[in-house]
């Protein structure tokens, strides 16, 4: 069983999140709703979770295939609707891989993450449209 806790820090909307292994993250909100931008916002953490989940999948698969990845980044973007609950109806995942990697291996790794391994995508897909793209940056 996974478990996390979020504890108010007795100041504005400042919160500290802790996972079951003791790792901590600070959460806050924007100044417009009572925070001071001292940490990630909860919905930003959802995007971070999505990016981190698929990044770990794709990177792990490429490493197992012994692809020469020199750098790797996942960028998740989306716009929230104006009315509450201010969800993200669509999210785009961009993979940026630096190295002399096989395009076929990159495509396969992304496909496996999107359709089999990434639990974050599995949870978000029923409520949001998820799209993706990738760029391979070759060494000069």
The alpha carbon dihedral of 4, 110, 40, 125 has a sign of negative
Rg (CA), the chain: 17
pLDDT tens figures, 74-95:
999 999 999 999 999 999 999 9
Q: Is the separation of the CB atoms in 74 and 57 below 8 Å?
A: no
The secondary structure element, H or E, covering residue 100 is: none
Domains and CATH numbers, the chain: 4-33 (no CATH), 42-137 (3.30.300.20)
- Say what angle helices 42-64 and 103-112 make with each other, to 10 degrees: 130
Q: In angstroms, rounded to a whole number, what is the distance separating the alpha carbons of residues 4 and 25?
A: 11
pLDDT tens figures, 5-59:
999 999 999 999 999 999 999 999 999 999 999 999 999 999 999 999 999 999 9
pTM over 0.95: no
Q: Is the separation of the CB atoms in 91 and 77 below 8 Å?
A: yes
Confidence bin at 139 (pLDDT 50/70/90): confident
């Amino acid at each position: 069983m996974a478990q996390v806790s979020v504890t108010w820090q007795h100041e504005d909307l400042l919160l500290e999140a802790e996972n079951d292994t003791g790792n901590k993250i600070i959460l806050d909100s924007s100044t417009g709703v009572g925070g001071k931008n001292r940490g990630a916002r909860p919905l930003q953490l959802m995007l971070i979770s999505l990016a981190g989940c698929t990044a770990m999948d794709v990177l792990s698969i490429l490493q197992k295939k012994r692809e020469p990845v020199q750098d790797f980044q996942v960028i998740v973007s989306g716009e929230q609707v104006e009315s509450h609950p201010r969800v993200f109806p669509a999210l785009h995942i961009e993979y940026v891989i630096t190295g002399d990697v096989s395009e076929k291996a990159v495509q396969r790794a992304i496909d496996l993450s999107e359709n089999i391994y990434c639990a974050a995508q599995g949870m978000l897909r029923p409520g949001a449209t998820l799209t993706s793209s990738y760029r391979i940056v070759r060494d000069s």
